[in-house]
Structure 1
Amino acid sequence: MHFNSSHRFVCQLVGLLISLFATVPGHAQTGDSACGSLANGYGPYDYRTDKPKLGIVERYHFTPEVETLIRGSTNVLPGPDLDYTLRASPNHHRALMSMMRYGEKMKSPQPQGTGYSVECYFERAVRFRPDDTIARMLYATFLSKNARTPEAIRQLELATVAAADNGFSHYNIGLVYFDLKKYDKALLQAHKAISLGFPKTDLRDQLQHVGKWAEPSNESTDSANPTANGPTPEASQQ
């Protein structure tokens, strides 16, 4: 998977999120795990629905300089501010992307100034909101970049269940499958998005470019959800 295409996809995805993304409310789980309790002095807040409560966090901790890893806001390094942001909002999509890039920049599974490993922040995000398809897509991207394709696919399968009848989500899940070169799965997601009326054609165009496009049939859209009769995101966090 090419980083530039993945990064461009995430930036576009987050930009569209506010106006297009529809969610099903989830329930925070604050129990302990290997990646720590989700209980926090401020929050935890859902990045999708609690944005007004996150204004102060983004003003003083998740600044543009922190997001782009130029420098920290309360520390020389951005690690402590990324950690604070992701404890206040475990599924903060942009902060998760920055944390992934921070680990890559520092060449460390737990870069300086963070309370957990980079992977733990993704585990905490999907534990906090199992229905957050974008958090799962970002987790899948992290796993793919670390050569853990089967685990990445599992996250995408769970994201597909959570996406339900959201064409926007199925389309973007398809883009991640495409980056994984899982063209058959990307095609199914493209068909599902089309059946739900999602208008963008980039995924179809990319599949056509690599010779993997086929026109949808009733069977292909019905089979786009590989775990429709399996465990829900709430039942399986990873």
Structure 2
Amino acid sequence: MTKHRRSVTVMDIDFTNTSMSAFLNDSLYPCLAAEQKCFIVTANPEIVIATRQHPDFKKTVQSADYVLPDGIGIINATKMLGKPLEERICGVDVMHYVLEHAAQNGYSVFFIGAEENSNKKAVENAKEKYPGLLVAGRMHGYADLNDEAFIKTVVEARPDVVLVALGMMRQENWIKDYIDRFDKGVFMGVGGSFDVLSGTAKRAPSIWIRFQLEWLYRLIKQPSRIVRVVKAGQFMLLHVPVVHKIGKVINYNRKRSRKKD
């Protein structure tokens, strides 16, 4: 699959610069129709920081056909760079659009990851919400997903879509390790989206999302997510072009102050 040509680079990661509608209709759906392979990464500041700390993971993300900006921190960083991305493209939303499109067009989906109960319930809810959805198979995330017998099962199912909910790094690396074994398919890491689909976890109300406060809602519901907030702050501090820009402003103001003195 050819990479999307319009992109904005943040810390060596090329983010696809498009809208949700354009991505779905001009890229993802045509890929399904043509039975091509496509590797999608939905990246937030935490993932970008991880690519700096883990060179192999960086290569994995850079190998993706599309890296979507799933995090308001990414959007704000590109605005400060003067090269704003069109919009945030949330991974859980992409997943729902894919499931709906698959159900309407006879594409099959393989669900990998999350706990057994969450995985099972996510599949049940997906079939109920999207009548006609073809489930190629499913497997929870606590099995040996590198077992050759399991890999062979997934490959032989010939799924059109493979959703992998194993958490950051592990899900992307799994896709990178095995995507060459398939002759078609849209592959996407979806993090905790199965928990949302199963009802185990809830998304922030629309008003919180509208005002870019989904991160705060999640933090209130799950205080343990403070680590992710810290990572987001670290991302902004390490965003070299932005820090450099701020530094230039500070130096400029200092020079002006000295001249006045």
Which structure has more relative contact order (CA 8 Å, sep 6+)? It is 2
| Structure with greater strand percent | 2
The higher radius of gyration belongs to: 2
